[in-house]
Chains A and B, each alone.
Chain A
C-alpha cells in the first residue's frame, strides 16, 4: 500500500475514534435503523425473506448520517489551519482525497456490519434469501460510498463543519429524491430533442431498488462507481482551486 495513502487513511480513520463522534454516529444509526426496521418497516408483519423492512429506509437514514461522517474531513483542516500544512507536503492531492474518502467509507462499512446481528436473527425467524440480502447490503454500501463522496466535496468547499453537514444532507437527500425522468422529459419538451427514458438511468432509486430486489446489474455497479469517481475527481479539483 502506498505509504502516503496509508498514513492519511489511518490518521483519518483513527480520528473518528479519538473523539466521541464515531460512537455517537454508531449509536444514532443503530437506533434509527432499528426504529425504521421494527416500527415503520413492520418487521414482524411482513415476510422478510429479502430483509425489505431494513433496506427500505436505509437511503434516507444514510442521507442524514453520512454527512456527519464526512463533514469535518476538509472543513476542520481549513478551520484549524492544518490544510496549509498538509497541502505543502510532497503528496499528490488525489492521494489525500482518496485517503480521507476511504477512511470515511471504512467507517460506513463498520456501521453496516453492526446490523449483521439482525440479519442472523432474521435467519432464525424465517427463511431468508441470503444472496438477496447480500445484494441489498451491497446497495446500502454503495449508497453510503456515494454519499461519502458528496460529503467530501462539500466539506472541501466549507470551513465550517456544521454548514458542510447541512449542505451535504440537502445534496444527498436531493440526489436521492430527484426524478431525472421528469427533468429529462422537461428538457426534451423544451429542446424538442428525441429523448425518452434516459432519465431512468440517472435515478438513484431505480438502481437502489435493483440491489434490494437482488438484481445486481453491471449498469448499477457502473452507475455508482462512475458517480463516486466523478465526485472524487471534482474533490481534487476543488482542493486545487481553493488553494490557488
Chain B
C-alpha cells in the first residue's frame, strides 16, 4: 500500500507537486495523467525517494520514504523516464548489477532471470551490449532490471513512449498482468493507454491532484464519452 499525505514539492516559487493525497492498494493499476509539466514525474520521484518532499510524507507498506528509505525502496521497482541504462554493459550484466543491488541470492537471481528473459523476449540479446539494442529492447531491459527482485510495487514513467504498436501492446500486457497481484503506477498522457490498462486515474494539473477517479467515470465527464475530450475539458477548466 502506498500512502501520500499532503505531499508537496517546490522548485523555487513554483509548486511541482502541491498538497497531494492518495492511497493506493494492492491490485490497482494507477495512471498518473496530466499535461506536460503537471507534476507526474516529480510525484514519481517523490514516491521513489529520488526527490525529498518539502512538506508531507509518503509511506510504502508502512515505511516512510524519507526516514526509512532503504526499507521503502525494497518494495519498489522503478523505471525512470527515458529508461536510463548503462550502455556499455550487456543485458545480463545490467540485470545482474540490479539484482546485486537488491542483494538477491544467486540461485534466486538465476531463476528470476530465466523467467524474465523469456517473458520479456530478451533471451536472444542477453549477451549483447545495451548500446546496440533498439529502443523497445532497452525499455524491456529497464523493466527486467526493475522486476528482478519481484517488487510489490512497479512504477513506470511513460513506459510506452517511443515504442512501436507491437511493443506497446507487450508492455501493456505486462503491466496488466503485474497489476493483478501488485501495485502498478504509470505516468502517461496517452489516453488509449489509460483506457486499456488502468483501474484508477489520478489526474494532475499544475502540481495539484484534480481528480482521483475510475477511467469510466472520467470518460463520463465529456459529452461524447471520450477520455481525450474529458481530459481536455478538465485541464482547460483548470487553466
Binding site for B on A (CB under 8 A): 3-4, 6-8, 11, 15, 18-19, 80-82, 84-92, 243-244
Interfacial chain B residues near A90, Cβ < 8 Å: 69-71, 73-74, 101-102
B100 touches A80 (CB 8 A): no
CB of B133, distance to nearest CB on chain A (Å): 15
A6→B76 CA distance, assembly (Å): 22
A80→B82 CA distance, assembly (Å): 10
Instruction: Tell me the nearest residue of chain B to A244, going by C-beta.
Output: B52
Main secondary structure, interface of B, reads loop
Any A CB within 8 A of the CB of B45: yes
Main secondary structure, interface of A, reads helix
* Contact code string B36-78 (vs A, CB < 8 Å = 1, else 0): 0000000001001111100000000000000001110110101
A89 touches B84 (CB 8 A): no
Please, could you name 26 A-B residue pairs with CB atoms under 8 Å apart, sorted by A? A3-B100, A3-B103, A4-B101, A6-B100, A7-B96, A7-B97, A8-B101, A11-B86, A11-B89, A19-B88, A80-B87, A84-B45, A84-B84, A85-B80, A85-B84, A86-B101, A87-B50, A88-B73, A88-B76, A88-B78, A88-B80, A90-B69, A90-B73, A90-B101, A91-B70, A91-B101
Binding site for A on B (CB under 8 A): 45, 48-52, 69-71, 73-74, 76, 78, 80-82, 84-89, 96-98, 100-103, 145
Q: A11, A15, A84, A92: which contacts B50 (Cβ < 8 A)?
A: A84
CB of B3, distance to nearest CB on chain A (Å): 19
A15 touches B88 (CB 8 A): yes
A7 touches B101 (CB 8 A): yes
A3→B100 CA distance, assembly (Å): 6
Q: A18, A19, A81, A92: which contacts B84 (Cβ < 8 A)?
A: A81
B84 touches A80 (CB 8 A): yes
A91→B72 CA distance, assembly (Å): 11
Instruction: Tell me the nearest residue of chain A to B71, going by C-beta.
Output: A90
Instruction: Tell me the nearest residue of chain A to B70, going by C-beta.
Output: A90
Knowing A3-B103, A7-B100 are in contact, say whether A88-B50 is a contact too (CB < 8 A): yes
Ranked 10 nearest A-B pairs via Cβ: A7-B100, A81-B84, A244-B52, A90-B73, A90-B70, A88-B48, A89-B101, A18-B88, A82-B84, A84-B80
